[in-house]
């Protein structure tokens, strides 16, 4: 019988609107890699935040090495040798690697000043101990996401952690970086560390974990040995029903060019080149997927096409009409629908109600506006209609958007954008953070647009999504199109290599462009 290092018993945690953890029992063996899986909102992160002292459980108890303990803040967790690598990195961008590592546990000299030399040495030692090099004096804002994650791991090890909690660590990594991470995790396991690995990606669960705990809607629905189960079983435990992994998509012929982008150049927020001579086109009835590691120009590309960012040079046209550097309103009037990447900041106004959000972008125009004042009657009817059509819940049009779930907020956006028969749909990270039901819904809407012969530009960090939806895939790397591929003739591994610039000069695997 393996030794139980951590046990959480009957943990219950309520938030104002939900019970995030409902009498959860969770136990971990010493030296194992334990996957904690479940959909978004299943309560995994809440459970781990309770373990780490960020939240207090309303009831239940935590035992470490059979000793009952109370963890009221992260300091206690750190003393108990628990470390957490958060999904959103907890790193302070303008500070250096070393400063981030020592924060809260700074070595001192003369009892007053930070002993920065000593700290730097320590950071180097730890990183080399698990097999990689890092510049301790680099600022976080200047290093890649993959390296930032390593800083997070160093941070945890610096505090002497024996139990490491990794919250969705692969969400931001390329397939190659994921492999490297797994290498690091395995070497940590060899050193006798215990790792709790939160994820909803079942391939990874299979690849790395020893045991699996599945959560659904705040409850634990099962614990399995990885070797004794399979992907399908875990998936149905997660969702509570059978899940279809494949999106159904009919073969059909594409039409004329709808959107044409040529030699596009633009700067990012720091004034550095973000897009370098980007060219591509989308045909009627085609989904072009843009694959890439985040921060390689996808955000800027979508912003330039939709008028939210100025192009430095190059040309964007819709059916031969030049729309380069037109205002967002002018471009919207060309019937471009846009599901923005940043749902909460861009896509909705959380303090506006559903009906007000459903007219954003067309509020100034007939029929919602008659010259001076808003046509509230028509606006309300419009809202009722779309709420019904898209099954937005709750169905009250006067609800503020902030009170809706992420999935329903996304439905509001989709309903608004697809209204009025757009000719192009630009969908950026359209399913990020959504539950399985909402993901299926959004995917279906995207396919529908394609089948109605619209052009679709799909930007996603989720390679599964890209591979299953796209008719063609453009890989973007450092602001350039690294390759344009046929999804049927490529795979995650090849995409990953192209996305990281590990393979270059592969322009296309398409033998011909279908007319």
Partner 1 sequence: MLGNIFNADFFASSIRIAIPLALAGLGGVVSEKSGVINIGLEGMMLTSAFTVVAVTNFSQNPWIGVLSAILIGIVLGLIHAVTSITFRANQIVSGVAINLFASGITVFLAWLFFNETQIMAVKNLPVWGLSIPAPGEGSSVVRSFIVIFLHHSPLVFITVIIFALAHFILFKTPFGLRIRSVGEYPEAADTMGVNVIKMRYLAVITSGALAGLAGSFLSLEQAHFFVKEISGGRGFIALAAMIFGKWTPLGTAGAALLFGFGEALSIRLQGVLAIPVQFINMVPYVLAIFVLVSAIGRATPPAADGIPYEKEVG
Partner 2 sequence: MKSNNNINVYSFLEKITPLIAVMFALLVGAIVILIIGEDPIFVYKVLFSNALGSKVGWGNVLFRSTPLIFTGLTVAFAFRCGLFNIGGEGQMYIGTFFATWVGFTFTNLPSFLLIPLCIIAAATGGALWAAVPGILKAKSGVHEVIVTIMMNWIAASLTFYLVLQFKAPPTEAMKAAGVKQMIPHTREIAEAARLPRIYHLLKSINIDFPSYVQANVSFFIAIAVAMLVYYILWKTNLGYEIRAVGYSPLAAEYGGINVSRNIVLAMVISGALAGLVATNEVMGFKYRWRQELFTGYGFNGIAVALLGKNHPFGVVLAAILFGVLNYGGAIVNIFTGGRIPRELIMVLQAVIVIFVVISDEIVKRIIRKRRKTA
Q: Which is nearer to partner 1, 102 or 499 (CB)?
A: 102
Check if the beta carbon of residue 134 is closer than 8 Å to that of residue 147. yes
Q: Which is nearer to partner 1, 89 or 182 (CB)?
A: 89
CA distance 508 to 504: 11
DSSP-derived 3-state class of residue 228: helix
Q: Residue 313 is encoded by which pair of tokens?
A: 């040079």
Q: Which is nearer to partner 2, 350 or 492 (CB)?
A: 350
Q: Residue 433 is encoded by which pair of tokens?
A: 């953070």
Check if the beta carbon of residue 13 is closer than 8 Å to that of residue 50. yes
Q: Candidates 78-86, 402-410, 413-421, 505-513 — which segment interacts with partner 1 by CB under 8 A?
A: 78-86
Q: Which of 84, 358, 446, 495 binds partner 1 (CB under 8 A)?
A: 84
Q: Does 24 bind partner 1 (CB under 8 A)?
A: no
Nearest-Å Rg of the Cα atoms of the chain is 25
Burial of 511 (0-12, 13-18, 19+ CB in 10 A): exposed
For residue 394, whether the previous peptide bond is cis, meaning omega lies within 30 degrees of 0, is yes
- Residues that bind partner 2 in the complex, under the rule CB under 8 A: 14, 16-17, 58, 306, 308, 327-329, 332, 338, 340, 342, 345-352, 356, 360-361, 363-364, 369, 372-374, 376
Q: Mark residues 138-157: x for contact with partner 1 by CB under 8 A, - for none.
A: -----------------x--
Q: Candidates 16-24, 453-461, 477-485, 486-494 — which segment interacts with partner 1 by CB under 8 A?
A: 16-24
Give the nearest distance from C-beta 296 to partner 1 in angstroms.
23
Q: Which is nearer to partner 2, 319 or 352 (CB)?
A: 352
Q: Does 433 bind partner 1 (CB under 8 A)?
A: no
Check if the beta carbon of residue 115 is closer than 8 Å to that of residue 107. yes
Q: Candidates 11-19, 64-72, 201-209, 383-391 — which segment interacts with partner 1 by CB under 8 A?
A: 11-19
DSSP-derived 3-state class of residue 181: helix
Q: Which is nearer to partner 2, 46 or 213 (CB)?
A: 46
Give the nearest distance from C-beta 22 to partner 1 in angstroms.
14
Instruction: Report CA 508 to chain centroid distance, whole Å.
Output: 27
Q: Does 21 bind partner 1 (CB under 8 A)?
A: no
Q: Which does 113 bind (CB under 5 to 8 A by kind): partner 2, partner 1, none?
A: partner 1
Listed in sequence order, the residues at least 6 apart from 13 whose beta carbon sits closer than 8 Å to its beta carbon are 19, 20, 21, 43, 46, 47, 50, 55, 57, 58
Q: Candidates 84-92, 276-284, 376-384, 409-417 — which segment interacts with partner 1 by CB under 8 A?
A: 84-92
Q: What are phi and psi of 508, to 5 degrees?
A: -160, 150
Check if the beta carbon of residue 499 is closer than 8 Å to that of residue 173. no
Listed in sequence order, the residues at least 6 apart from 262 whose beta carbon sits closer than 8 Å to its beta carbon are 279, 314, 315, 316
CA distance 476 to 297: 7
Give the nearest distance from C-beta 402 to partner 2 in angstroms.
10
Q: Which does 132 bind (CB under 5 to 8 A by kind): partner 1, partner 2, none?
A: none
Taking CB under 8 A as the criterion, which residues in 102-131 touch partner 1? 102-106, 108, 112-114
Q: How many CA atoms lie within 13 A of 44 on its CB side?
A: 27
Q: Candidates 50-58, 61-69, 448-456, 466-474 — which segment interacts with partner 1 by CB under 8 A?
A: 50-58
CA distance 350 to 409: 9
Q: Which does 378 bind (CB under 5 to 8 A by kind): partner 2, partner 1, none?
A: none
Interface residues toward partner 1, by CB under 8 A: 15-18, 20, 46, 52, 54-55, 73-75, 78, 84, 86, 88-95, 99-100, 102-106, 108, 112-114, 155
């Amino acid at each position: 019988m393996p030794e139980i290092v951590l046990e959480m018993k009957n943990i219950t945690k309520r938030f104002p609107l939900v019970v995030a953890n409902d009498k959860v029992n969770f136990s971990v063996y010493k030296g194992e890699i334990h996957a904690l899986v479940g959909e978004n909102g299943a309560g995994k992160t809440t459970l781990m935040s309770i373990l780490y002292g960020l939240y207090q459980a309303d009831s239940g108890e935590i035992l470490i090495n059979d000793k009952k303990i109370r963890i009221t803040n992260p300091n206690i967790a750190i003393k108990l040798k628990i470390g957490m690598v958060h999904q959103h990195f907890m790193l302070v961008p303008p500070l250096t690697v070393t400063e981030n590592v020592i924060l809260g546990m700074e070595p001192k000299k003369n009892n007053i000043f930070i002993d920065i030399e000593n700290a730097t040495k320590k950071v180097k030692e730890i990183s080399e101990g698990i097999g990689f090099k890092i510049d301790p004096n680099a600022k976080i804002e200047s290093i890649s996401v993959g390296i930032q994650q390593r800083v997070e791991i160093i941070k945890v090890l610096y505090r002497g952690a024996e139990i490491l909690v990794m919250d969705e660590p692969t969400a931001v990594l390329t397939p190659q970086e994921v492999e490297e991470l797994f290498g690091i995790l395995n070497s940590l396991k060899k050193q006798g560390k215990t790792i709790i690995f939160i994820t909803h990606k079942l391939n990874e669960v299979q690849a790395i974990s020893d045991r699996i705990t599945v959560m659904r809607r705040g409850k634990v629905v099962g614990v399995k040995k990885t070797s004794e189960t399979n992907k399908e079983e875990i998936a149905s435990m997660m969702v509570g029903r059978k899940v279809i992994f494949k999106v159904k998509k009919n073969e059909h012929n594409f039409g004329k060019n709808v959107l044409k982008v040529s030699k596009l150049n633009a700067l990012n927020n720091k004034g550095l080149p973000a897009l370098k001579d980007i060219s591509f086109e989308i045909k009627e009835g085609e989904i072009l997927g843009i694959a890439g590691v985040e921060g390689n120009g996808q955000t800027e590309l979508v912003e330039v096409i939709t008028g939210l960012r100025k192009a430095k040079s190059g040309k964007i046209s819709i059916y031969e009409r030049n729309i380069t550097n037109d205002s967002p309103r002018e471009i919207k009037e060309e019937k471009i629908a846009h599901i923005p990447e940043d749902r909460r900041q861009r896509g909705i106004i959380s303090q506006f109600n559903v009906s007000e959000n459903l007219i954003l972008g067309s509020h100034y125009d007939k029929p919602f506006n008659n010259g001076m004042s808003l046509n509230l009657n028509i606006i309300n009817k419009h809202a009722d209609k779309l709420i019904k059509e898209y099954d937005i819940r709750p169905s009250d049009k006067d609800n503020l958007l902030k009170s809706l779930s992420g999935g329903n907020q996304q439905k509001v956006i989709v309903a608004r954008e697809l209204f009025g028969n757009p000719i192009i749909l630009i969908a950026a990270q359209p399913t990020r953070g959504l539950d399985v039901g909402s993901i299926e819904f959004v995917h279906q809407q995207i396919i529908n647009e394609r089948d109605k012969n619209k052009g679709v530009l799909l930007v996603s960090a989720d390679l599964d999504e890209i591979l299953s939806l796209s008719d063609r895939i453009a890989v973007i790397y450092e602001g350039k199109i690294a390759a344009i591929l046929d999804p049927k003739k490529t795979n995650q591994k090849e995409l990953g290599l192209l996305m990281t610039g590990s393979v270059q000069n592969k322009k296309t695997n398409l033998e011909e462009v279908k007319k």
